[in-house]
Amino acid sequence: MISFDALPDNAPLKNSLKNALSGRFPQTILLSGDAGSGLAEWAKTIAAALLCESGAARPCGACVSCRKAEQGVHPDLTIVDEGENELKVDLARRIKAENAIVPNDGDRRVTVIHHAQNLNPAAQNALLKVLEEPPGYAFFILTAEQPDALLQTVRSRCVDFALEPPKSAISDEEASALLAPYLDALAAGREDGLMKAALALEKTPRRALLTLFGLLQAALRDAVLAANGVQTLPLMPALSKQAAALSRAVSSARLLEAYDFIDVLLDRVSRNAASAGMTCALTSDLFRICYL
């Protein structure tokens, strides 16, 4: 049953949403959070609350509107989720046209746009007008993993609600234990050993991948500094042996290239890219960058 209680614990956000719902709810909100933080469930629950027919706590989960919203068949609820695709101006025009029509069932119409950071500038400009002066019945919920990528003109129309970042799914110690054999194999120039170590990384959930890739990058930074003879406290003391070995095996130019490559991967993982195959791609590219 759709309800705020069914969402993962985030009391501050639940309270501020409930407060807003008991008054004049803003017509455009921006819900931001990391990939994997459940943005879709939160947005759907807020949409159900806006459409709920109950006079009491909304969403009640039991009325016809709540059930239609939960099943994704509410005629006044549009959910746009194009994954990682660019959201173009024709989509924005469609949303505008849809919102020019009064609602079917009740007195509200809700449009959810997921991954709003993928709206290209033309699409954002096309949406701006309706976000600035929406019809009284129209509500917009934009979700974004990277809210900063939205145009300031759009952001200024939105009331912000942010999910707390999810706790890391893996501790630094666990991550270091997984990364040590990986870096050992990389320093030894052993592609087969690297692939074997990558299989262990592959089993970690996506949220943990962000931590893993972040620590891997920190170890590479330590290796670059060591290769250049810079005396400094390592970022990853648990992997300093591996960083030292890497600094001897691979030139600092290549290590820097590997460091930048992980930046790209981190961006992809945080943008919701599937984790399957990520560590294998990482491994073959990392080997190529370091040795070929």
For binding to Zn ion (CB under 5 A), which residues are involved? 52, 54, 59-60, 63, 66
Distance, C-alpha 217 to centroid of its chain: 20
3-class DSSP assignment, residue 33? coil
| Distances from the Cα of 184 to the Cα of 26, 76, 104, 143, angstroms | 53, 56, 62, 40
Name the burial class of residue 3, with classes exposed (0-12), middle (13-18) and buried (19+) by CB atoms within 10 angstroms of its CB.
Answer: middle
Q: Which is nearer to Zn ion, 63 or 177 (CB)?
A: 63
Q: Which is nearer to Zn ion, 66 or 282 (CB)?
A: 66
- The distance of closest approach from Cβ of residue 53 to Zn ion in the complex, given in angstroms and rounded to an integer, is 5
Q: Which is nearer to Zn ion, 40 or 63 (CB)?
A: 63
Q: Is the backbone peptide bond immediately before 166 cis, with ω within 30 degrees of 0?
A: no
Position 130: which residue type? V
- The distance of closest approach from Cβ of residue 25 to Zn ion in the complex, given in angstroms and rounded to an integer, is 15
Q: Which is nearer to Zn ion, 51 or 273 (CB)?
A: 51
- CB neighbourhood size of 30 (10 A): 22
- The distance of closest approach from Cβ of residue 24 to Zn ion in the complex, given in angstroms and rounded to an integer, is 19
- The distance of closest approach from Cβ of residue 62 to Zn ion in the complex, given in angstroms and rounded to an integer, is 6
- The distance of closest approach from Cβ of residue 219 to Zn ion in the complex, given in angstroms and rounded to an integer, is 51
Q: Which is nearer to Zn ion, 60 or 178 (CB)?
A: 60
Q: Which is nearer to Zn ion, 49 or 123 (CB)?
A: 49
Give the integer Cα–Cα distance in Å for 283 and 182: 9
- The distance of closest approach from Cβ of residue 104 to Zn ion in the complex, given in angstroms and rounded to an integer, is 16
The string over 108-146, giving b where at least 16 C-beta atoms fall within 10 Å of a residue's C-beta and e elsewhere, is bbbbbbbbbbbbeeebbebbbebbeebeebbbbbbbbbb
Give the integer Cα–Cα distance in Å for 98 and 138: 10
- CB neighbourhood size of 55 (10 A): 7
Q: Which is nearer to Zn ion, 3 or 240 (CB)?
A: 3
- The distance of closest approach from Cβ of residue 105 to Zn ion in the complex, given in angstroms and rounded to an integer, is 12
Strands 109-113, 77-80: pairing is: parallel
